[in-house]
């Protein structure tokens, strides 16, 4: 077993570097995981690097929250995993002896998973294992290069399900990034009618995913286009970006008892909905999501061929960990939705 590993670290100045750090130790309820692949997240990761994340972040910090890997060492009390298992949402732990924190820690060559089922069984308080609920066993027929997408798929499906989107609903999705694309697929799966407002450069991709059309977010005629597309009104507005401008433009078309779900958080501090633009009473969904609850359903949809990771990233040409900074530079220029990172 190696004693050291590479990890992608966001430094104090926001730059992304590759450091050599110790391979983590495990306790009896933990699993040492040799990481295989992870995927970038333009929203969370870039905000962390730009020091604009809405939650406190300590620097320097190991980046990455969409990584998977295989179990190579098992703690004595672990019963949910075995050697060779592929596990989701794994990351390296904080390393206080090095002054190194984690932003989930997924972009490292080794990580640690926790058997929360065993901890619950042994009466350990939920507060000590709650965060480990996202670390799920991935079935053998789900490929290592597909598995990183499960994190995005699980959380967006949980959100859409809790929001209540169903067959026959008219759904407006604001955004054209990775999460918006996931919302399109989930809403189309339940046979809702979907229209997006996003970058015109991504229209073909969004339509391929099942959107009726994509309206240019810069257009001066957004309302007129929406009115023509939704003559009966809109049941749900899902804002996958977090800017309220287009929410307010669409608000007069929201049906009575319609709902707005603000998933994106780019302007969380001053997101403003003008209720006087609405013609009816409406609700705003604020209850978030619970990623683990949709794990089995996402597996089902992958097996059905409905969820295809290649819509989000180039599955055949992963970026080596050593070149991860180049991937994020490309994300800043909107050259891709996501990149698959090779952590081996």
Tokens for 288, please give them: 């978030």
0.75 exceeded by pTM: yes
pLDDT digits (tens, 9 = 90+) for 297-308: 999 999 999 999
Residue with tokens 């698959």, as numbered in its chain: 340
Model pLDDT, residue 1: 67
Q: What range defines the domain where residue 210 resides?
A: 152-285
CATH number of the domain bearing residue 24: 3.90.180.10
13 and 139 part of one domain: yes
24 assigned to some structural domain? yes
CATH number of the domain bearing residue 191: 3.40.50.720
88 and 160 part of one domain: no
Q: Where are the beta strands (DSSP E) in the chain?
A: 4-10, 16-22, 30-39, 61-62, 67-74, 86-88, 101-102, 110-114, 137-138, 170-174, 193-198, 214-216, 234-239, 254-262, 282-285, 319-320, 340-342
Q: Domain count of the chain?
A: 2
Residue with tokens 């995913």, as numbered in its chain: 209
Model pLDDT, residue 315: 98
Q: In the chain, which stretches have pLDDT less than 70?
A: 1
């Amino acid at each position: 077993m190696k004693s050291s590993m590479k990890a992608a670290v966001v430094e104090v100045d926001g730059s992304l570097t590759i450091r050599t750090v110790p391979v983590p130790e495990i306790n009896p309820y933990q699993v040492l995981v040799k990481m295989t692949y992870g995927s970038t997240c333009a929203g969370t990761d870039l905000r962390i690097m730009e020091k604009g994340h809405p939650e406190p972040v300590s620097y320097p910090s190991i980046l990455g929250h969409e990584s998977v890997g295989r179990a190579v060492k098992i703690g004595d009390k672990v019963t949910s995993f075995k050697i060779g298992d592929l596990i989701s949402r794994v990351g390296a732990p904080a390393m206080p002896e090095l002054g190194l924190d984690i932003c989930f820690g997924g972009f490292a060559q080794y990580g640690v998973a926790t058997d929360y089922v065993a901890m619950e069984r042994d009466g350990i308080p939920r507060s000590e294992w709650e965060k480990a609920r996202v670390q799920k066993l991935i079935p053998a027929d789900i490929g290592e290069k597909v598995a990183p997408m499960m994190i995005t798929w699980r959380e967006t499906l949980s959100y859409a399900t809790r929001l209540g989107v169903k067959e026959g609903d008219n759904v407006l999705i604001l955004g054209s990034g990775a999460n918006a694309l996931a919302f399109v697929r989930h809403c189309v799966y339940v046979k809702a009618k979907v229209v997006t407002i996003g970058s015109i450069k991504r229209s073909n991709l969004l339509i391929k995913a099942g959107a009726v059309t994509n309206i240019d977010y810069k257009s001066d005629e957004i309302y007129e286009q929406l009115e023509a597309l939704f003559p009966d009104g809109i049941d749900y507005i899902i804002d996958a970006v977090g800017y309220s401008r287009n929410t307010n433009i669409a608000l007069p078309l929201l049906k009575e008892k319609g709902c707005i779900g603000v998933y994106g958080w780019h302007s969380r501090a001053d997101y403003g909905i003008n209720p006087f633009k609405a013609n009816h009473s409406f609700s705003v969904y604020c209850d978030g999501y619970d990623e683990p609850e949709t794990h089995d359903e996402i597996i089902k949809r992958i097996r059905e061929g409905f969820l295809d990771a290649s819509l989000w990233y180039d599955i055949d040409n992963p970026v080596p960990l050593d070149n991860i900074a180049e991937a994020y530079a490309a994300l800043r220029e909107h050259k891709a939705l996501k990149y698959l990172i090779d952590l081996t």
